[in-house]
Amino acid sequence: MQELINIFVKSIFIDNMVFAYFLGMCSYLAVSKNVKTAVGLGLAVIFVLGVTLPVNFLLHKYILSSGSLVWLNPDYADIDLSFLSFIIFIAVIASMVQLVEMIVEKFSPGLYSSLGIFLPLIAVNCAILGGSLFMQERGYETLAQATVFGLGSGLGWFLAIVALAAIREKLSYSNVPAPLRGLGITFIVVGLMGIAFMSFMGIKL
Amino acid sequence: MNNKKIFIEPLFRNNPVTVLVLGICSALAVTVKLEPALVMALSVTIVMGFSNVIISLIRNTIPNRIRIIVQLVVVAMLVILVDQVLKAYAYEVSKQLSVFVGLIITNCIIMGRIEAFALANKPIPSLIDGLGNGLGYGIILVVVAFFRELFGSGTLLGYQIIPNALYIKNGGFYENNGLFILPPMALILVGLFIWVQRSVTKELIEKK
């Protein structure tokens, strides 16, 4: 249990998707102009990461990683399908996003209309694929670990985008040098936020 | 638009990273050292060139509704090829790049150029557009990596540039700036790059 909490806290603060690895930057910068839409996109990311990571974990464990097909037939012990993982992961993510979209549309039209265009866009958000690839690279062992890692990374991304959106709302009232206006100052603000987040790095879990 | 213009535009004036804000994730994460940045720029350029050509060749046969999946499959296939080649011939660099080679699939520059250009143009201009945007992306990577490696480690491509005698531990006055190694510095450098670029080309300045 303690291990799961460690993974959770670590993926939110120390290995924050945005500040430590710059994942999902494109939508992070594009959709952070106001807090309301940022919250919508952040929630969608938490949800999709929480759903796709367990699925990809099972695929990785029972189909893709080297020698994992033994449960089908002991002769398959030396088959390594890990070169297929990119294409399988992205297919899972794209279809999961589609599925999530249909479910949300059916059962909660209110949430669906507030998320709008963001749901389909999540398929190409690199934080999602990055989550699956990190799960593979760091070798999480159980389904619970992978799920907790997914939810934690999503929550970290959520916090990051809401914080930036809040800062950008205030920033629009300040007098920024003209060439730096808009995109330039946003980059620098994200950089400074990243430096602030580095202070979590000292925590050993 | 003629081919030369298609090639030149994305290098500076219409740069995919600093003007169109595409593909930032990988642009920042692989720039601690110059070597992985060069490899990454090359990989992205190759994937983008080929994916643009392939999509452009089959653009009239793809049903509009499933085009995203088709594009993802084509890009993923090319990325798998690049990944396998890197693992075979440049294992060290491929380890440093870790998940970021795989993340070329979701690099928005590639999807963006396919959607905006390859779906509506002939293969040859698409190839040139892909290579031009790849190079435009590469320029930012190399500039950021140049400064980060020079100031952060005092080396370039692994060779010592700042003389060893200048370091404090050897009796000099110089110390590497550890801030440049940290991830946030890449963002700040890109921010400064945008500042310089927009001071030169005034029409890029955003309205208040």
Instruction: Report d(CA A44, CA A157) in Å as an integer.
Output: 11
Distance CA A116, CA B51 (A): 29
Q: Work out the mean pLDDT of chain B and round it to a whole number.
A: 82
| Residue with tokens 């110390």, as numbered in its chain | B175
% of chain B residues with pLDDT over 90: 1
Q: Does A200 touch chain B (CB under 8 A)?
A: no
Q: How far is B16 from chain A (nearest CA, A)?
A: 11
Question: Cβ of B163 under 8 Å from any chain A Cβ?
Answer: no
The predicted model scores a pTM of 0.81
CA B144/CA A170 separation, integer angstroms: 29
Instruction: Establish if B90 touches chain A: CB-CB under 8 angstroms.
Output: no
- pLDDT tens digits for range B132-162: 888 888 888 888 888 888 888 888 887 887 7
pLDDT at residue A116, as a whole number: 64
Give the burial string for B144-153 (b: 16+ CB within 10 Å, else e). bbbbbbbbbb
Going by pLDDT thresholds of 50, 70 and 90, the confidence category of residue A205 is low
Return the SS3 of B159.
Answer: strand
- Least Cα distance to A184 among B116, B7, B199, B13 occurs for B199
Report the Cα–Cα distance between both ends of chain A, in Å, rounded.
13
Closest CA to B190 of A148, A25, A40: A25
Q: What is the pLDDT of residues A124-146, one digit of tens each?
A: 777 888 888 888 888 888 888 99
Name the pLDDT band for A157 (thresholds 50, 70, 90): very high
- Kindly give the pairing relationship between strand B155-156 and strand B159-160: antiparallel
**b/e burial code for range B158-186 (CB count within 10 A of at least 16 → b):** eeeebeeeeeeeeeeeeebeeebebbbbb
Q: Which residues in A lie closer than 8 A to residue B106 (C-beta atoms)?
A: 90, 124-126, 128-129
B169 pLDDT above the threshold of 90? no
Least CB–CB distance from B25: residue in A22, A177, A178: A22
Cα nearest neighbour of A197 on chain B: B184
* CA distance to A2, B20, B28, B151, per residue, from B182 (Å): 29, 25, 11, 12
Task: Identify which of A83, A134, A194 has the shortest CB distance to residue B99.
Answer: A134
**B66-A26-B177-B11 Cα dihedral, nearest 10 degrees:** 80
Q: What is the pLDDT of residues A45-94, one digit of tens each?
A: 888 888 889 998 988 888 887 777 777 777 777 777 777 887 888 888 88
Smallest Cβ distance to B102: which of A86, A183, A186? A86
Contacts 24+ apart (CB under 8 A), B197-202: B197/A179, B197/B12, B197/B15, B197/B18, B197/B19, B198/A178, B198/A179, B198/A180, B198/A184, B199/A179, B201/B12, B201/B13, B202/A179
Contacts of A180 (CB under 8 A, 6+ apart): A188, B191, B194, B195, B198
Are the beta carbons of A23 and A130 closer than 8 angstroms?
A: yes
Task: Identify which of A125, A137, A178 has the shortest CB distance to residue B106.
Answer: A125
Closest residue of chain B to A29, computed from CA coordinates: B21
The domains of chain A are located at: 2-198
Q: C-alpha angle with apex A162: A41 to A181, nearest 5 degrees?
A: 100
On whether any CB of chain B is under 8 Å from the CB of A203, the answer is no
Residue A169 has pLDDT above 70, yes or no: yes
